[in-house]
Structure 1
Amino acid sequence: MFNINVNEDAVSPVVAEIMMVAVGIIVATIIIAFSLGLGTGDVAPQAGVRASSYSMGDHSVIMLEHQGGDELYLASSNTKMVVDGEVVDVTLLTTDDDLEFKAGESLYIFNEVDEIGGFAIGTATHLTNENAEGDLADIVAFGETGTVKFVDVSSQQMITDIDVRF
């Protein structure tokens, strides 16, 4: 009597094709994101550091004050400190406690002319001892500006960049 043509292909192949394209786009997006480094979690510590000129005897030094935020570990493998393009030596900070720069603490960057022969960072005790031994020189001349930069080594991100006027 009646001959009914039944087509069972209907919508299924179209839906399957759209799903395969969508999954392909998602996978490609994930691969691109990780290959460009967008999936990495390296973030520089966030810390408020204040730098100001300070006088020790006849010499200018930089006083750093940690005003809050993350603790900075000042070992050269973690944080690179630079003053006017010259790397600051951390060898005077010999203990882990000295290397941890925490909120409320102060450290000093000075020009140590004897053993280190360049910029060094230390505590008030280090600064007093170096001054007593006659091993200090000015960081920059009076009336000039020095630039202090802290860079996180693992992420290569700037932690702070401060100009200090003397």
Structure 2
Amino acid sequence: MNLTTISTWYGDISESLFNRLSAIQLVVCDIDGVFSDGRIYLGNNGEELKAFHTRDGLGVKALLNSGIRVAVVTGRQSKIVDQRMQALGVTDIYQGTTEKLKVYSELAERYQLEDQHIASIGDDIPDVVMLQRAGVGVAPQDAHPWVQQQADYVTSMRGGFGAVRELSDLILLSQGRLQLHGGVSV
């Protein structure tokens, strides 16, 4: 069997995966370990801190500006997540959920999308149900090893260090909508 590949900035990917990425209309993301490096910083006064990468933010903005929806589904509850996602223009923010597949299904129904039109990115066991159902399931480079085995694609970038941007670039590249000019760091 002759497997054709497409060369990207992030390495070669199969033509089959590239074609599947071209159908994506919604990206469903976990937060901790995807948008952040997975660490949670707690201060003496109970304050919680997370670090988000501006490259991931620019990737989200590029998706939204191209008409591709972005949703976040996370098991934790954090005001920081609301602030960051709202600043990026994400309106589908689901926190404190233990039933990620239920939220995924609700999003698919709300936007009238079949699984092949949805990509999902997650780094740990609770995310696998979404990765397995999505048309394209993605795991960051430093995701749990079993999660990586369940994914259709493992990013070359780590969670919190550009994994979301990599996925957004590949989607937009596959759809012929990747813009290499303009914008501001977000």
TM-score by length of 2: 0.23
Q: TM-score scaled by structure 1?
A: 0.25
Query: Taking CA–CA contacts closer than 8 Å with sequence separation of 6 or more, which of the two structures ends up with the larger relative contact order?
Result: 2
Q: Tell me which structure has the larger Cα radius of gyration.
A: 1
Between Structure 1 and Structure 2, the one with more strand by share is: 1
